[in-house]
Structure 1
Amino acid sequence: MQHDIIDVAIVEDESELAALHAELIRKHPRLRLVGIASSLAEAQTLLNEKHPQLVLLDNYLPDGKGITLLNTPNLNLANCSVIFVTAASDMDTCSQAIRNGAFDYILKPVSWKRLSQSLERFVQFHEQQRVWKIVDQQNVDSLYQLQAKNYRLDNGSKGIEEKTLERVKALFQEEPERFFSVDDVVTETGLSKTTTRRYLEHSVEAGLLKVEMLYGKIGHPRRLYRRAHES
């Protein structure tokens, strides 16, 4: 059976995080990245021109709040779904997103594994909608389960090589109190930025590292990584 390719747009003004999202999308055989917007105005243009089927949406943008996009004709006419990826932890924003049909709501700092799971659920959700023209109760229940938060992927370490992981771990063992940026790890290990991001996020998920956000310039926090202390 031939599967549809799902067009995805990213609306995120934090460049490092947008790059992380983009890598996840590019790695998935069913997803295609059609553009990245760093402001509300750019997002509206992107929706107009590319008509994506899924948007990874931040709420706090330089020129307004991403949640306002949920009520725009561009989103509704394109039959586009939304996964919120945001620091907005207030209940009003969260409940508004749910009421307006957001597929998922993920809080920053973002879990690589959590976002991967959400994207995989959406792909399956999209496929079932395409295949099932008429539904019975079992079909409906299945669709709602795909949108539930307890869906799990079996393999959280896919594409992780032990030697490369040990290389990254050694860096943090040598300086356990230091916070490293992605660029710092690239410089110290010689790995590519894409590979570095993947191994850092895997290490966070495995409890080896912790991530913190450094807020310097407004709207552009940086992800910093440090060795997680054993309790």
Structure 2
Amino acid sequence: MIKVLIVEDDPMVAEFNRRYLEQVGGFELIAVAPSVADALQILDRQEINLILLDIFMPSMNGFDLLAQIRKLGQGVDVIVVSAACDSQSIKKSLRYGAVDYLIKPFEFERFNTALAAYRDWVTMTKGQEKLSQAELDKRLLHPNPLPVLNELPKGLTRNTLKTVWENIQEMKERSFSTEEMANRVGVSRVSMRKYLGFLTEIGVIEMEVIYGSVGRPVYQHRCIKPENNLIKRYF
């Protein structure tokens, strides 16, 4: 089992990450640290293989923890989980050795992809002294490149995408949930998540997460470029 430490000062987000982690096999949550200081104490006492790390926290931030880990030469990997989407934060995290970067809010599919890729890498390199170029490329090359122009990802159809887009435009910039759009179009929520994920990737809609008083967070989507001609290339 890969031993995981969640470093997150927002209790609701930490719980959200914990629940997602439970759904991915091969990982064991060791602790949740609300601050960098607490994380350093846990790292001093416990064996940790992977940290799910927020960047912006009171006092010391995630970059401070990354720097300290590298300074001490600790063999722990880090996946950044942060709302920071500016290029400087992303570049800095990667320079400090983060193995992946998840921008909040994100859905389970992206979280699962990151954790599964890391787990596969750990499994592949365990006990191996040397790797082939093909094996190395599985880790270094991005597993999910952006769609080729005019080419839809596997499982998506042009007619359904057009119907989804027409319904989104009817919303007149009002936010909507995956379930609401699935009901309007007449497809499953699983299928609708794929279409909305694609539209988010090409930059015509955006997603935000809304935290209620109880239960899991709710994802809302909103059209940000209703007149964008890019989407028409895929019809």
| TM-score calculated relative to the size of structure 2 | 0.62
* 1:52 corresponds to 2:48: yes
**Aligned-pair CA distance for 1:131:** 3.8
The corresponding residue for 2:126 is 130
1:186-230: per-residue Cα shift (whole Å, max 9, x none)? xxxxxxxxxxxxxx999766649x853569xxxxxx95545768x
Structure 2 Cα separation of the partners of residues 61 and 107 of structure 1: 16
Specify which structure has the bigger relative contact order, considering alpha-carbon pairs within 8 angstroms and separated by 6 or more residues.
1
Structure 1 residue corresponding to 2:79, chosen from 56, 78, 83: 83
Segments of 5+ residues of structure 2 without an aligned counterpart are 147-173, 178-188, 198-205, 227-235
Structure 2 residue corresponding to 1:100, chosen from 75, 96, 101: 96
Structure 2 Cα separation of the partners of residues 33 and 48 of structure 1: 16
Calculate the aligned-residue CA RMSD, in Å.
Answer: 3.8
Structure 2 Cα separation of the partners of residues 226 and 133 of structure 1: 46
The corresponding residue for 1:115 is 111
The residue type equivalent to 2:16 in the other structure is L
* 1:212 corresponds to 2:208: yes
Is contact 2:175–2:222 with CA below 8 Å preserved after alignment?
Answer: no
Secondary structure in 2 aligned to 1:88? coil
Structure 2 Cα separation of the partners of residues 202 and 59 of structure 1: 32
**Aligned-pair CA distance for 1:15:** 1.8
Aligned length: 180
**Aligned-pair CA distance for 1:115:** 1.0
User: In 2 relative to 1, CA 74–36 (structure 1 residues): closer, same or farther, beyond 3 Å?
Assistant: farther
Is contact 2:83–2:103 with CA below 8 Å preserved after alignment?
Answer: yes
**Aligned-pair CA distance for 1:100:** 1.6
**Aligned-pair CA distance for 1:42:** 1.3
Structure 2 Cα separation of the partners of residues 76 and 61 of structure 1: 21
Structure 1 residue corresponding to 2:30, chosen from 34, 41, 47: 34
The corresponding residue for 1:64 is 60
1:7-61: per-residue Cα shift (whole Å, max 9, x none)? 0110112222211211222233310000001112111112222231100000011
Structure 2 Cα separation of the partners of residues 207 and 150 of structure 1: 16
The corresponding residue for 2:144 is 150
1:120-140: per-residue Cα shift (whole Å, max 9, x none)? 000001111114222232332
Is contact 1:112–1:205 with CA below 8 Å preserved after alignment?
Answer: no
The residue type equivalent to 1:49 in the other structure is R
Structure 2 Cα separation of the partners of residues 36 and 111 of structure 1: 20
Structure 2 Cα separation of the partners of residues 13 and 116 of structure 1: 22
